[in-house]
Amino acid sequence: MLSMMVGRKDKDEAWAAGEVSVAVEGEPFNFGLNGRFLELGLRSLNAEVVCIEGNSKGQPLVVKGSGDDSVKYVIMPILDLE
């Protein structure tokens, strides 16, 4: 099992971060997101387990509940972290 680093920097440049366990299919890649958009997407789902799907760096990501295609939330990454 791999981990994903989730972090946030606030307006005063304070940084908070944590790790989340993830299962990865395919080649892993780094991406950056606006945390507010990710939060909106996660709040729109009624799921304890979510999938964040992407094809490659710089392409939109799809956030959805695991095993549930009834709600999909699309987020465009804002920066390349590599």
Number of folded domains in the chain?
A: 1
The answer as to whether 80 is a domain residue is no
CATH number of the domain that residue 58 is part of: 3.10.150.10
Quick check: is 82 in a domain?
Answer: no
Residue 81 within any structural domain of the chain: no
Higher pLDDT residue, 9 or 65? 65
Two structure tokens written together for 45:
């789902």
- Classify 67 in phi/psi space as left (phi over 0), alpha (psi -120 to 50) or beta: left
Domain membership of residue 57 (yes or no) is yes
Please state the pTM of the whole predicted model. Answer: 0.72
Q: What is the chain's mean pLDDT, rounded? A: 82
Question: Which pLDDT tens digit goes with each residue over 19-51?
Answer: 888 888 888 777 788 888 888 888 888 888 888
Token pair 């964040």 in the structure block, residue: 52
Range of the domain at 63: 2-75
CA distance 57 to 60: 9
Given a cut of 80, whether residue 75 has pLDDT beyond it is yes
Answer whether residue 13 shows pLDDT above 80.
no
Predicted pLDDT at 72: 92
pLDDT of residue 68: 86
Listed in sequence order, the residues at least 6 apart from 46 whose beta carbon sits closer than 8 Å to its beta carbon are 65, 71
Does pLDDT of 11 surpass 80? no
Q: How would you write 8-77 as a 3-class SS string?
A: EECCCCCEEEEEEEECCCCCCCCCECCHHHHHHHHHHCCCCCEEEECCCCCCCEEEEECCCCCCEEEECC
